Amino acid sequence: MPTSVEDLINPGVDDVIADSKLHGNIDPAQDQTMVLNMGPQHPSTHGVLRVVLEVDGESVVALAPDIGYLHTGIEKTCEAKFYQQVVPLTDRIDYLCPMTNNLTYCLAVEKLLQLEIPERAQYLRVLLNELTRLNSHLVWLGTHAMDIGALTVFLYCFREREEILRIFEMVAGQRMMTSYFRIGGLSMEPPIDFYDRVRNFLKIMPEKIAEYENLLTGNPIWMGRLKDVGHLSAADAIALGVTGPPLRASGVDWDLRRDMPYSGYEKFKFDVPVSQVGDVWARYEVRMKEMYESVKIATQALEGLPDGRITADAPKIILPDREQMKTQMESLIHHFKIVTEGFAVPAGQVYQGVESPRGEMGYFVVSDGTAKPFRVHMRNPSFATLQALETMCKGRLLADVVAVIGSIDIVLGEIDR
Amino acid sequence: MHLSDFQLFVLITIIKIAVVLVITLTAVAYTVLLERKVIGRIQNRWGPSRVGPFGLLQPLADGIKLFLKEDLMPMSVERPLFVAAPVIALACALVSVAVVPFGQTFKIRGVDIFEVSNVNIGLLVILGITSIGVYGIALSGWSSNNKYSLMGSLRASSQVISYELALGLSLVGVVLRAGSLNLRDIVNSQIGHGFLSWNFFGGLQFVGFFIYIMAAYAETNRAPFDLPEAESELVAGYHTEYSSMKFAMFFMAEYANMLTVSCVATLLFFGGASSPFEGWIPAFGPTWLQAILPIFWFVAKVFSFLFLYIWVRATLPRFRYDQLMSFGWKFLLPLAMANILATSLVMALRS
């Protein structure tokens, strides 16, 4: 068990290539290894991840992930926008959980503003966040299964994901880049038929998860590919900053929703699935169980949804109703002011962490008292989890690398920002 | 004009070759369509449905597309072998159809018209030619000068060689029962009591059949043994660098191999072209119907094997390399040997 951080520092791409030259003897007959470049265009690196591998036949001697192919400068862009204009940018970080990113950013800024969010908005936020988790886990399951070679599960997962995206479209008008949350609440009331649609979906969802499990869980080939592959010990996981399902699969019982509740999560009853094994199979099991828990939380949020406002009572921060804006002078002034010069946020700095489908998603926002953030930094779960790739894959076969990349469920947009 | 017997034989054989070639290639094209359609339905979607009624002209469109594509050849490839590899693969896949009897013996002036050539070691010919097909894959991977291609072809070669053993041994039980390597004789040994006298049921060769079907899936590099072209690991495996018709030839070779394997399964375990009610229902209808009907049964059986192939592909995940090897050597091979032992014991006791 490596205890010092030095042991866990990953080699870079250059190190792997240089190492390969060291391992390779000058005599070609003695040269046993070759450098294999996986990505950035590769079917199973989930976007534009590049992994440089030193392989001896089929087994991996060393590997280094290379990131930055999807760098879009979102953090820097945030500094040029008003606080409310940053929300659409947060969608683009992670195309699989836009709602979670919206929420994290809004919570962080609301902390600075010390806004009181009405309970109805909190419940809706929780509901949509759990739907987002289901959405993200469905894509994970589909692509993970496809990497292992089970093609059909992907289409089944996307069938249910489609329904989630339609629900998102209902509330936000957008399927993926929702930007539905606002600083201080939500952008608008959900339409009337939203509730029935979500209720129906949550009713059938447990059956569907059982259907996926039916296709995969007992399958000997699936078990053979996942069990005893890509071990990550609890100590390594903590040292590398791994969070979320991979951390819980390594036996650390840590879930921000329960341990550091936000947005009213303390009012919901749910279990946190934990596994002690720490291999790819454990991560699969933990995520599958999490999907059932998400359905539970979303059902509680839907059934217990209180009446009331969906925005905080802060007219200088929240855009007024269209109706009011056209009839009341004061509202028109507020509207004009917010749109043209934003709203000032008290100076200070704040960190807000949220349990995203991939782990701890955190926003660190620094305000200098103006209407634009001085600095927005995102702490992304995929970035930390990707660090563990080398620890999990070293000495394994090439096919295991694919299984491990699938199991850590990374989104490159989130890593590169 | 009067033709001598030899001239007639040559003429009819050429016609047979042409007809069988055209039918096989058409079957290959439509197997691709069948696969896309069936997998589509399994996966909750339609599959090709735009070109022609029910997408029936899709193979034609695919063919035209592949013909018209630019034939790229990277600078660093070993040119002669790079060109030869797909030819070897496709030729070997197509040649093995030559010894398959499609119907029951039906002679016109002494020439059997439902089989291109009746070789007395037909089974060995098929096994041998499919093994040569590995050269196409091995050479393509080596000559491409691409690491993914190389790994794909290495996987393919070792996989095919390993599973060839189990494949060959699984057929020994059938050969023992028939006492011949001639495919026609093997089929004739399964005629008498309808489907009960097929090797699978009456011959108690179901263990042999399952070994055969698993080894055959590995032999043709199909799911769940499609490691050589495992998309998620090796991009496209040995044909990564191929484009246009050269790629199409590999593609056709894969499906032609599937057809051959299904034909062999039909011939060896399911009574070939014989009807499941042979011997129970007397022959009926005019002579041409009696000649055509066995072909119907043959095609139906081959079709169901192809369907099984496709079904398995849509259902199962892929093996890992080491698991594949241990499955072949530690499970299939001993099982095949046990099957030979059991079959010969039963036969010795019966005689």
Confidence band (pLDDT; 50, 70, 90) for A21?
A: low
Beta bridge partners of A356: A359
Domain boundaries, chain B: 68-350
Q: Above 70 in pLDDT, residue A400?
A: yes
Phi, psi of A88 (to 5 degrees): -65, -25
Mean pLDDT of B122-136: 86
Q: What is the 3-state secondary structure (H, E, C) of B264-313?
A: HHHHHHCCCCCCCCECCECCCCCHHHHHHHHHHHHHHHHHHHHHHHHHHH
Average pLDDT over residues A98-116: 90
* Residue B166, both tokens: 């189990």
Q: Which pLDDT band holds residue A201 (cuts at 50, 70, 90)?
A: very high
pLDDT by residue (tens digit) across A92-102? 888 888 889 99
Res. A364 pLDDT band, cuts 50 70 90 = very high
Q: Kindly tell me if the per-residue pLDDT of A314 is higher than 70.
A: yes
Instruction: For residue A156, list chain B residues with Cβ-Cβ distance below 8 A.
Output: 43-44
CA distance B269 to chain A (A): 27
Choose, out of A51, A221, A401, the residue to mutate when testing the contact with B (most B CBs < 10 Å).
Answer: A221
| Segment B166-210, tens digit of pLDDT | 888 888 888 888 888 888 888 877 777 777 777 777 767 788 888
Name every chain A residue with its beta carbon within 8 A of the beta carbon of B43: 151-152, 154-156
Segment among A8-12, B69-73, B138-142 with least mean pLDDT: A8-12
Residue in the structure block whose two tokens are 């068990």: A1
CA angle in degrees (0–180, nearest 5) for B80-B96-B334: 105
pLDDT reported for residue A295: 92
Judge whether residue A10 has pLDDT over 70.
Answer: no
> What pLDDT is recorded for position B109?
67
CB contact under 8 Å between A151 and B43, yes or no, is: yes
Query: To which H or E segment does residue B112 belong?
Result: strand B111-112
Helix H, strand E, coil C: the string for chain A is CCCCHHHHCCCCHHHHHHHHHHHCCCCHHHCCCEEEEECCCCCCCCCCCEEEEEEECCEEEEEEEECCCCCCCHHHHHCCCCHHHHHHHHHCCCCCCHHHHHHHHHHHHHHHHCCCCCHHHHHHHHHHHHHHHHHHHHHHHHHHHHHHCCCHHHHHHHHHHHHHHHHHHHHHCCCCCCCCEECCEECCCCCCCHHHHHHHHHHHHHHHHHHHHHHHCCCHHHHHHHCCCCCCCHHHHHHCCCCCHHHHHCCCCCCHHHHCCCCCHHHCCCCCCCCCCCCHHHHHHHHHHHHHHHHHHHHHHHHCCCCCCCECCCCCCCCCCHHHHHHCHHHHHHHHHHHHHCCCCCCEEEEEEEEECCEEEEEEEEECCCCCCCEEEEECHHHHHHHCHHHHHCCCEHHHHHHHHHHHCCCHHHHHC
Smallest CA-to-CA distance from A99 within A306, A342, A286, A355 is with: A355
3-state secondary structure of B56: coil
pLDDT of B61 > 70? The answer is yes
pLDDT tens for A262-312 read 888 888 888 899 988 888 999 999 999 999 999 999 999 998 888 888 888
Would you say A415 and A403 are in contact if contact means Cβ atoms under 8 Å apart? no
Q: Is the pLDDT assigned to residue A199 strictly greater than 80?
A: yes
3-class state of residue B111 by DSSP: strand
Q: Given an 8 Å threshold on Cβ–Cβ distance, is A221 in contact with B316?
A: yes
| Global pTM value | 0.85
Q: Which residues of A touch B45 (CB under 8 A)?
A: 155
Q: Mean per-residue pLDDT for A355-378?
A: 90
Cβ atoms within 10 Å of B161's Cβ, excluding its own: 13
pLDDT bin (cut points 50, 70, 90) of residue A2 is very low
CB pairs under 8 A between A and B: 83
Cβ-proximal residues to A158 (8 Å cutoff; 6+ apart), any chain: A138, A139, A142
Q: Which of residues 200-219 of A touch B (CB under 8 A)?
A: 215-216, 219
pLDDT above 60 (res A8): no
Domain boundaries defined on chain A: 5-66, 74-412
Structural domain A74-412, CATH architecture: Orthogonal Bundle (1.10)
Strand order in the sheet with A375-379: A348-356, A359-367, A375-379
pLDDT reported for residue B231 = 63
Average pLDDT over residues A320-346: 88
Classify B101 as helix, strand or coil: coil
- On whether any CB of chain B is under 8 Å from the CB of A395, the answer is no
Q: Report the pLDDT value the prediction gives residue A20, as an integer from 0 to 100.
A: 62
pLDDT of amino acid A5 = 53
pLDDT value for A26: 56
Query: Does B148 score more than 50 pLDDT?
Result: yes
CA B159 – CA B228 distance, rounded (Å): 9
> Looking at this predicted complex, what is its ipTM?
0.81
- Residue given tokens 């589909």 in the structure block: A142
Contact A34 B147 (CB under 8 A): yes
User: What confidence category does residue A1 fall into, taking pLDDT thresholds of 50, 70 and 90?
Assistant: very low
> Is A42 an 8 Å CB contact of chain B?
yes
Residue A268 contacts B, CB cutoff 8 Å: no
- Percentage with pLDDT > 70 across chain A: 92
pLDDT higher than 50, residue A110: yes
Average pLDDT of every residue of chain A: 85
**How confident is the model over A83-107, as a mean pLDDT?**
89
- Average pLDDT score over residue span B244-258: 87
Higher pLDDT, A166 or B241: A166
